């Protein structure tokens, strides 16, 4: 793979190019490239440059506050943090089995989250690259450009996201950063009026989701060689799966397969995840590097998220999505299912699954039940794991006898994919940048690879994306040799 590009031998002799900040990525991230005198790439690193500190400042706070506080990690997938923390706190309050109303309402909330986040990720943040080309005119390579050139696609993307946000509003109280899930259950049910409000649009949402899968497929087909090869790397995979092997984004056991498809472990209870997953610290990044314990830090890094989930599950328990899963896995003798840019296709299949699952849940009368919260024997430790839009999300807390959190460990999707994203951008750098004069379009290839995984580095950072891009080429003494500045909406100069 590309381990040779992680650390150059004599960095002091190399030129440094920094892509900072990353655009159409929520959060502060940057990529640094070190090049030799012949413009050959010698080192590539993805850095998460801000420290959030949630694990520290949640300490000393009452445990029931955690599901609401920690969701502020993110504005794109707060529900995932809300629910992962809630699941951990379920264990703290001894709620081993939620009421049907509580579990189904949480699942509905989560599918609303998946729907809106996947729509945002694909349509708003990634489709400009995919529809116009990675090095197309930067002034048009944004959602406004998509609205002008592909108004129906843009409209559907916006309305898909809106529907997901409405599901969240009616289950959590607000479109962003609600309070619906509490330790041991939920604080409200779904009224018949609320259910009917969502039901009137769900069939259109399913239809648009099916169109979105076809759009992602068409984009892949039209550029098959590019999409297959772009930033491609082999990786182990990790995700939750249901007891029967089905995709389950809310709950399940841990399944890991190695890059050859062999099962490393399956249906593992995540309560002791540290027996399977450890984290390594590297001196050049604030973000840790998780790895599978049995394979060690060098060989044990893995990939999480849509591409992994769609490939790892035995089936998707909704018909349209499962049909698309089988089609995706069979495409081009399975090559798309291992391609970095195949992630977008897999993401749309998951979005379709969430739309179908929302429809099924809305027809379930348990959603309007009155039994909302349960509790049992109080526990000191709680672990909650969920499949967030971008991958497996782990929340782990220890609570003292006074109900105060004394320890927290969060392993977010972005962190799971840390090494995988580094691998992808190193492949891209080697494929497209090596030995060439750098342009904004070429550098955008790096960002395209990151966006395939994650438009949202805010689990580790917190600024909103769409930031201007500044690329500086420095000589060995740090003097600026060349620079590219991209102002939002103003092209480049």
- Which residues sit at the interface with another protein, rule CB under 8 A? 60-62, 64-65, 67-69, 72, 93, 172-174, 177-180, 182-183, 187-188, 373, 402-404
Q: Counting beta carbons within 10 angstroms of the beta carbon of residue 276, is it exposed (0 to 12), middle (13 to 18) or buried (19 or more)?
A: middle
Nearer to another protein, 93 or 264 (CB): 93
Nearer to another protein, 182 or 348 (CB): 182
Chain Cα centroid distance, residue 140:
25
Nearer to another protein, 177 or 288 (CB): 177
Q: How far from each other are the two terminal CA atoms of the chain, in whole angstroms?
A: 36
* Shortest spacing between CB 404 and another protein, in angstroms: 5
Nearer to another protein, 67 or 305 (CB): 67
* Shortest spacing between CB 63 and another protein, in angstroms: 9
Nearer to another protein, 342 or 382 (CB): 382
Angle of helix 418-428 relative to helix 440-453, nearest 10 degrees?
Answer: 150
Which helix H or strand E contains 224, and what residues bound it?
A: helix 224-229
* Shortest spacing between CB 182 and another protein, in angstroms: 5
What's the DSSP call for residue 288? -
C-alpha distances in Å from residue 175, one per residue of 171, 180, 197, 305, 390: 9, 11, 15, 23, 19
* Shortest spacing between CB 413 and another protein, in angstroms: 22
Chain Cα centroid distance, residue 66:
21
Nearer to another protein, 1 or 372 (CB): 372
Smallest CA-to-CA distance from 366 within 110, 172, 111, 186 is with 186
**Contacting residues for 403 by C-beta, under 8 A, at least 6 apart:** 62, 63, 64
**What is the C-alpha to C-alpha distance for residues 493 and 483, in angstroms, rounded to an integer?**
9
* Shortest spacing between CB 179 and another protein, in angstroms: 4
* Shortest spacing between CB 372 and another protein, in angstroms: 9
Which helix H or strand E contains 379, and what residues bound it?
A: none
* Shortest spacing between CB 228 and another protein, in angstroms: 44
Nearer to another protein, 405 or 443 (CB): 405
């Amino acid at each position: 793979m590309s381990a040779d590009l992680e650390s150059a031998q004599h960095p002091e002799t190399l030129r440094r190019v920094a892509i900072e900040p990353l655009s159409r990525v929520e959060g502060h991230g940057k990529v640094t490239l070190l090049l030799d005198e012949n413009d050959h790439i010698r080192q590539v690193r993805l850095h998460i440059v801000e420290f959030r500190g949630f694990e520290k400042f949640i300490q000393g706070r009452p445990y029931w506050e955690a599901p609401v506080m920690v969701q502020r990690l993110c504005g794109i997938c707060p529900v995932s943090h809300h629910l992962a923390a809630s699941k951990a706190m379920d264990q703290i309050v001894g709620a081993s089995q939620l009421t049907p109303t509580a579990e189904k309402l949480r699942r509905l909330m989560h599918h609303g989250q998946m729907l809106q986040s996947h729509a945002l990720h694909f349509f708003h943040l990634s489709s400009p690259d995919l529809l116009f080309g990675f090095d197309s005119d930067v002034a048009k390579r944004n959602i406004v450009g998509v609205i002008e050139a592909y108004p129906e696609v843009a409209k559907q993307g916006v309305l898909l996201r809106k529907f997901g946000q409405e599901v969240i509003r009616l289950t959590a109280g607000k479109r962003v950063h609600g309070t619906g899930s509490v330790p041991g259950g939920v604080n409200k049910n779904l009224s018949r009026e609320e259910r009917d409000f969502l039901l009137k649009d769900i069939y259109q949402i399913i239809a648009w989701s099916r169109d979105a899968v076809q759009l992602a497929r068409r984009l892949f087909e039209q550029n098959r060689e590019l999409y297959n090869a772009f930033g491609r790397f082999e990786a182990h995979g990790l995700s939750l799966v249901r007891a029967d092997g089905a995709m389950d984004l809310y709950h399940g056991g841990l399944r890991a397969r190695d890059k050859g498809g062999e099962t490393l472990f399956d249906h593992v209870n995540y309560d002791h995840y540290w027996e399977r997953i450890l984290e390594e610290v590297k001196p050049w990044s604030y973000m840790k590097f998780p790895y599978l314990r049995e394979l060690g830090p060098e060989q044990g890094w893995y990939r999480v998220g849509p591409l992994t989930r769609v490939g790892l599950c035995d089936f998707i328990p909704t018909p349209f999505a499962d049909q698309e899963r089988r089609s995706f896995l069979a495409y081009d003798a399975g090559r798309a299912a291992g391609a970095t840019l195949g992630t977008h296709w897999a993401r749309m299949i998951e979005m379709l699954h969430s739309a179908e699952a929302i429809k099924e849940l809305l027809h379930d009368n348990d959603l309007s039940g009155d039994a909302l919260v349960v509790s049992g024997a109080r526990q000191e430790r709680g672990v909650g794991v969920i499949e967030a839009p971008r991958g497996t999300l782990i929340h782990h807390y220890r609570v003292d006898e006074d109900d105060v959190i004394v320890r927290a460990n969060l392993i977010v999707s972005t962190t799971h994919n840390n090494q995988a994203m580094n691998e992808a951008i190193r492949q891209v750098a080697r494929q497209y940048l090596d030995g060439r004069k750098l342009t904004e379009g070429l550098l955008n290839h790096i960002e395209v690879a990151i966006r395939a995984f994650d438009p949202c580095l805010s689990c580790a950072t917190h600024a909103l994306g769409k930031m201007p891009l500044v690329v500086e080429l420095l000589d060995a003494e740090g003097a600026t040799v060349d620079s590219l500045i991209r102002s939002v909406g103003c092209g480049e100069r």
